[in-house]
Structure 1
Amino acid sequence: MTASADPRLYLDEVVSRLTGPGGRFEIVEEEVLGASMPVMKNRGKAVGDLLADSLRWGDRDYLVTADRRLSFTEHAAAAYSLAHALRERYGVEKGDRVAILGANTPEWVIAFWASQVLGAITVGLNGWWVPREIEYGLKHSRPKILVVDAKRAAALADVDTGGITVLTMEEDLPRLIAQFPDAVPPRVDIDEDDPSVILYTSGTSGRPKGALHSHRNLLAVVDYHRFSDALLAAFTGRTAGDDVPSDLRYLLTSPLFHIASLHNLVVPRLATGSAVIMHQGSFDVDKVLGLIERERVTNWGAVPTMASRLLEHDDLGKYDLSSLTAFALASAPSSIAFKDRLREKVPFARNALVDSYGLTECSTAIAVANSQDLEAFPGTLGRPIITVSLEIRDPFGEWLPDGVEGEVCVRSPFVMLGYWEDEEATAAAITPDRWLRTGDYGVIENGRLRLTGRRSDLILRGGENVYPTEIEQTLDEHPAVRECAVIGVPHPDLGQEVAAVVVVAEGAHVTEEELREFAAERLSYFKVPTRWRITSDLLPRNATGKTLRREVGI
C-alpha cells in the first residue's frame, strides 16, 4: 500500500487495514452478556495464558527496579512455582479470591500471575488503607489467601482477618517459590466471561465498591494496547507483530491496585515483551528522573500531582530524558492551564503530552486525546478508543445530540461484569443492555469528549447546577494558584453556596478579593465562590491522585 501524504488519511488507511476483514485486529459484532457490541475477532480467553506465551520473550527484561532485574523467563518460573504452592499447600482453586496488599514490588506482580493461572480472582486491596478499611476489604471479598508486604503485615495486628491465611512477600513467597522450582502450568478451564480481578473504586464518597473484571475485560485491554503499538509502528517504521517483542520501556509510578498500573501496564507489557520499570517508595522526582535516564524509559503515565512536582523541580536539564517519547496524564482531571504550564516548562511534554478519560469500572481509557488534540481543542479528552461506544444521555437515559451536556454513558468489552456481590449498585450503574452510566457529565464537541463535572460533586445553588470542575480549572489559570478544590456548603436560603479552598504556589501571595475578581471576569455570578480558604497545605488526595472532597474543609 502506498502511504498517503495526508497523515489523517494515512491513519484511516492503517486502521482499516488492521481492523478490517482478515486484519490482525479484525473487529466483528458479537453478543457479550446478552448485548451486541464490537469486539476483536482474534482474541484469547484466559488471562493466565499470557504467562505461558511470555516465555517466548526469554531473557528480555520484564520487571526492573532500582536494584533488581527480572526477565520474562525468571518471572514465569516464579509465578508457576507460587501457583503450584497456592494450589497444593493452601487449596486455592478457580473462583477463590487471592488478595494482595502491599506497595509496588515484583512479588506483587508474581502473586497476581500465580493467582490468574489458577483461575482464582485476584483482589487488589488499596495499599493506603488503614486497619479499619483493610478489615472491610477482607470481609467484603473473603479471600482464601492474603499476600502482604512487611509494613502491611504489621498493620494486621489491629485487623480481624477471620482466619485468612496470610503470606508475606519478603519471607513466605520466596520460600514457597524455592520449594517448587520445576512447576508446570496448571490446567484450568476458563471462560472469557469468568471473573478475573476485583479492584476497589476510589471511594471518594461512601465505602469503596469492588469492580469485578472478567478475563474478557483484561484481554480486551491487552488487545487495545497491541493495536496501539501496531498503529505507532505504522507511523515510525518499527516492525510490529505478535512474535516481535516491543523495545518500548514503561515507567510504573502509580499503585498496582489501580487499572493504570495493573490492567494497562503490567498485564499488556507481559504480552508485548516490553519492560516495566518500577519506581518503589513514595514519589521522588530525582529518583524517578534518574530511573528514566538509567533505564532509557520511553513511556510514562503520571497522575497530575506527579506532573506538578516536575514543574517545581529546579533543574530538569541535568538528566538525559531524551528517551521519553510518550508522557500521559491519567487517573485524575487536570486543567488547560496546567497542561500549558507542562508544555512550557517540561521539555518532554511539549510534543508527547497525552490525556485520557477512564474509570475503574471500564478497565482502561474510554477516550484518549493526543498532543495534536490537546493543542487544537483545549480541554478535550479526545475520541473514544477502539470498540468503545459513547453516548451523552439525559436523566431518562435518552441520547442527547452533540453540544448538549448530559451523563457520559459507555458500552464496550472493557466494561466490568458489575460490583462484587452488590446487585443493587450494579443495576444502578449498568443498564440491561450493558450501557455503563459513569456518573460523569460531559459534552461531545468536534467528535471529542469534554467533561464538565461529576454528578456526585454537583452543587445546587438556588436552583442552578454548578459543577466544581469548571470553577477549579478557571482558578487554576491564576498564577498564584498551585491547586484548588471547590465544594458546596450549606446556605440557609440558597440550599448550597460555592466555596473554594485555594493552595497558593510557593512564594506567591493572593487575597480573597483578587481571586473573586479573577473568577467574576470569567464565570457567571452564581459560579463565583462566596466563601474562600487560602492555604499553603496541599489538598488531601487518594492513591490515584483524586481530590478527597469530603476531607476538604472550608
Structure 2
Amino acid sequence: MNLARLLEESAGRGDAEYLVAGGRRVAFRENHARAHALATVLRREYGIGRGDRVAILAANGIPWITAFWAVAALGGVVVAMNSRWAAPEVEHALDLTEPALVLADERRRGLVPRTGDGAVPVCAIESVDAMVADGAGEAASGGMRAHSDDPATILFTSGTTGRAKGVVHPHRSLIATVDHQRGPRVDDPAPRRYLLATPLFHVAALHNLTVPRLALGDAAVMWEGRFDVDGVTRLIEGESVTHWSAVPTMASRLLDLLESRPVTARRLQSLRGLSLITAPASTAMQDRLRALVPAARTGLAATYGLTETACPVTAATEADLAADPLCVGSPVPQMEVQIRDGAGVVLVAEPRAADTVDEERHAGVGEIWARGPHLMSGYWRDDEATGAAFDADGWLRTGDVGEFVDGRLRVHSRRTDLIIRGGENVYPAEVAAVVESHPAVDECMVHGAAHPDWGQEVCAVVVPAGDDSGADGAGPALTADLARYVSDRLAAYKVPVRWLVRDAPLPRNASGKVVRAAALQRGGDPAADAPHHLE
C-alpha cells in the first residue's frame, strides 16, 4: 500500500468535492487527473521518479496539494519546507535534502540559492495549472511505484533549539494514519467537511487532514493567507464546515471574537467537532469554549503528538476532558505508550482504562515513549540523531515529561524545559496553567534561569488580559498579585520569583508553540517589559 494507490482509488469518488479554496472547487476525479497531468510534466521536464526529492516552499493553496499528489504518483519524496523560514534556514534544508526540484511561490523564490553548490532547479508553483494543462493530453504517469517503506515525506522539526532536522515518514506511516481515522467513521458516517487552517508543512494539515480526506471521501476547506478569525468563521458558515482542528492561539482568538460579538456564534452552527492540537489548552479555555461554541459542548477533543509520530499518540474525547481537563487522553489504536525514568527504565506500561490501572505499578512521572506503525523511520541523513531517538525495540523517546492519571496521559512539559530547583522538579506547564487561570492574565510562559544557590529559579513571562497593561507602574502591582495567587495554589518552590510583563502576545512558531528566546527579548513599552523580581 502506498500513496499512489490511495490516489488511484480516490478517482472513483467522482465529482464529490475534495478541495475548496478561494472560491475554487476541485472534485476527487479532477484532483486525480490534475495530479497525473502534473506528474507527467515533472517526469518529462525534470526526470522526477521514485526516491527523488521535490521541495515545496509555498503558502497553502490548491497547487501545493496538486504537487504533493503528483510527486506521490511518481514515487517521489515531498520535502515540505516551512514557508516562514528565512534564507539561511531554507538553504540548510536544501543542503540537507538535496532535492531535484523546488516548487516555490513568488514571495519565496528569492530565498532559494540560484548559484553555487546550493543551486537547484526552481519552478514557480503558480505555473502548476499551466503544467497540468500541458500534461493533460499525454498518457497517465506511472503510479504505485513506491514500496511501503520508501520515504513519502520529509518534514522538519521546529528548530527552536539547534538546526532543524528532517523527519522522514514512509508510505506505511501515512497509510497507518489514514487507518487511524477510518475507525471512528463507523459510528459517524455522515459527510464531513474539514477546515484546513494550519500550514501544509506540518503533520496536522498534511498527514492528518489532506491525505485522510482523500482516502475517506471528505472535503478539505482551506483558509488561505494569514489567519483571520472573522474571515474563518464566515468561511465555516459559508462552506458548512463540520470539523476544525485548532491550535490554542486560534481557539483563543475565536473566544475573543465570540465574547466581543456574541452574534457571530451563529456562524458555527454547522460545526460538529472541535479538536485542540499542538499545545495544551487550559481548563479555563476549555470551559469558555463549552460556554460559547455549541460544538464544544459535545464534540470537544484534544490530541497529543509530534512531527515524529505523524498521527496523535493519544486522543482525549469530550468525556475524557470533562473527567480530567489536564489530560490528553489515552493511546490511540496501534500506538503503545510508556513512561520511563532517566535511565530508560519503564515506570508505566500504557494503562488503557482506569479500572485496569494497578496504582502501585502505574505510578510515576517520567519521559513519554511511544511505539506504533505511524512513527517516522528516522531523521534524514542523521544516523546519530535517529539512534538517539529510538531504542533497540523501536520505541521513540518523545522528549516530553508526563504521567498517567486514571488511565489518561497528562503532559507536563518538554524534558528540556524541566526546571530543577534545589533538587525539586518544577514543570513549566503546570505553573503556567495556574498563572493563566488568573483573570488578569491572557498568556503565560514559564521557564528556568540559572541561580547560584538553588541551581535554577522559576521565571514567568506574562501578557496581561484586556486593558491590564504593565505600563505606568502597573507591572509590579500585577506580578505581586500573581505571586500571591500562585502561592495559594502551588508549593512555594514552584512560585515564579522573576516576572516579565509583555504588552504584546507571546511569539509562537507555526505549530503554535511559544518561541522562548523571542519571548524573553525586550520590546514594546519599556515599563511593560521591565523584569520584576520577587523574593
Correspondence for 2:176 among 193, 213, 220: 220
Paired residue for 1:200? 156
What letter matches 2:424 in structure 1?
A: E
Q: Is the 8 A contact 2:91 2:113 kept in 1?
A: no
Q: Return the offset for 1:220.
A: 0.3
Q: 1:96 to 1:410 in 2, by over 3 A?
A: same
1:176-219 CA deviation, whole Å, 9 max, x = no partner? Answer: 21111134141453221111110101122111111100111000
Residue 517 of structure 2 is aligned to residue 550 of structure 1: yes
Residue 211 of structure 2 is aligned to residue 211 of structure 1: no
Q: Is the 8 A contact 1:131 1:158 kept in 2?
A: no
1:241-269 CA deviation, whole Å, 9 max, x = no partner? Answer: xxxxx620000000000001000000000
Paired residue for 1:307? 251
Q: 1:461 to 1:160 in 2, by over 3 A?
A: farther
Q: Is the 8 A contact 1:132 1:159 kept in 2?
A: no
Q: Return the offset for 1:51.
A: 0.8
Secondary structure class of the residue paired with 1:328:
strand
1:469-514 CA deviation, whole Å, 9 max, x = no partner? Answer: 1110111110111011011122222222111000011123661110
Paired residue for 2:224? 280
Q: Which sections of structure 2, spanning at least 5 residues, go unmatched?
A: 348-360, 470-476, 521-530
Paired residue for 1:391? 338
Distance of 2:331 and 2:141 partners within structure 1: 37
Distance of 1:323 and 1:436 partners within structure 2: 38
1:360-412 CA deviation, whole Å, 9 max, x = no partner? Answer: 10001010111111011221111100101111111222211323111111110
Distance of 2:119 and 2:133 partners within structure 1: 25
Q: Is the 8 A contact 1:505 1:536 kept in 2?
A: no
Q: Is the 8 A contact 1:138 1:161 kept in 2?
A: no
Paired residue for 2:82? 126
What letter matches 1:516 in structure 2?
A: A
Distance of 2:62 and 2:130 partners within structure 1: 15
Residue 92 of structure 2 is aligned to residue 147 of structure 1: no
1:147-197 CA deviation, whole Å, 9 max, x = no partner? Answer: 1111112343799782211111113x2222111113414145322111111
Paired residue for 1:289? 233
Paired residue for 1:22? none
Q: Is the 8 A contact 1:251 1:277 kept in 2?
A: yes
Residue 323 of structure 2 is aligned to residue 379 of structure 1: no
Paired residue for 1:178? 133
Q: Is the 8 A contact 1:442 1:451 kept in 2?
A: yes
Q: Which sections of structure 1, spanning at least 5 residues, go unmatched?
A: 1-44, 239-245
CA RMSD of aligned residues (A): 1.6
Residue 299 of structure 2 is aligned to residue 352 of structure 1: yes
Paired residue for 1:81? 37
Paired residue for 2:426? 466
Paired residue for 2:273? 326
Q: Is the 8 A contact 1:487 1:499 kept in 2?
A: yes
Paired residue for 2:365? 405
What letter matches 2:171 in structure 1?
A: H
1:525-544 CA deviation, whole Å, 9 max, x = no partner? Answer: 11111000112211110011
Secondary structure class of the residue paired with 2:425:
strand
Paired residue for 1:541? 508
Q: Return the offset for 1:341.
A: 2.1
Correspondence for 1:524 among 487, 491, 497: 491
Q: Return the offset for 1:463.
A: 2.3
Distance of 1:102 and 1:385 partners within structure 2: 32
What letter matches 2:441 in structure 1?
A: V
Distance of 1:194 and 1:528 partners within structure 2: 49
Distance of 1:336 and 1:418 partners within structure 2: 35
Correspondence for 2:308 among 349, 357, 361: 361
Distance of 1:325 and 1:158 partners within structure 2: 47
Correspondence for 2:397 among 431, 437, 446: 437
Q: 1:408 to 1:157 in 2, by over 3 A?
A: closer
Residue 119 of structure 2 is aligned to residue 163 of structure 1: yes
Distance of 2:145 and 2:238 partners within structure 1: 42
Q: Is the 8 A contact 1:135 1:160 kept in 2?
A: no
Q: Is the 8 A contact 1:52 1:185 kept in 2?
A: no
Distance of 1:271 and 1:436 partners within structure 2: 27
Q: Return the offset for 1:324.
A: 0.3
Moved more, 456-465 or 192-201: 456-465
What letter matches 1:297 in structure 2?
A: V
Q: Is the 8 A contact 2:113 2:120 kept in 1?
A: no
1:122-160 CA deviation, whole Å, 9 max, x = no partner? Answer: 110001101111111111111001011111123437997
Paired residue for 1:416? 376
What letter matches 1:315 in structure 2?
A: R
Paired residue for 2:66? 110
TM-score, normalised to structure 1, is 0.87
Paired residue for 1:317? 263
Correspondence for 1:491 among 441, 445, 451: 451
Q: Return the offset for 1:467.
A: 1.5
Q: 1:346 to 1:159 in 2, by over 3 A?
A: farther
Question: Pairwise mapping of residues 62-73 of structure 1 onto structure 2 (< 5 A)?
Answer: 62-73=18-29
Which 4+ residue blocks in structure 1 deviate beyond 3 angstroms? Answer: 154-161
Moved more, 293-302 or 482-491: 482-491
TM-score, normalised to structure 2, is 0.90
Distance of 1:482 and 1:133 partners within structure 2: 31
Count of residues in Structure 1 that have an aligned counterpart in Structure 2: 497
What letter matches 1:531 in structure 2?
A: R
Paired residue for 1:18? none
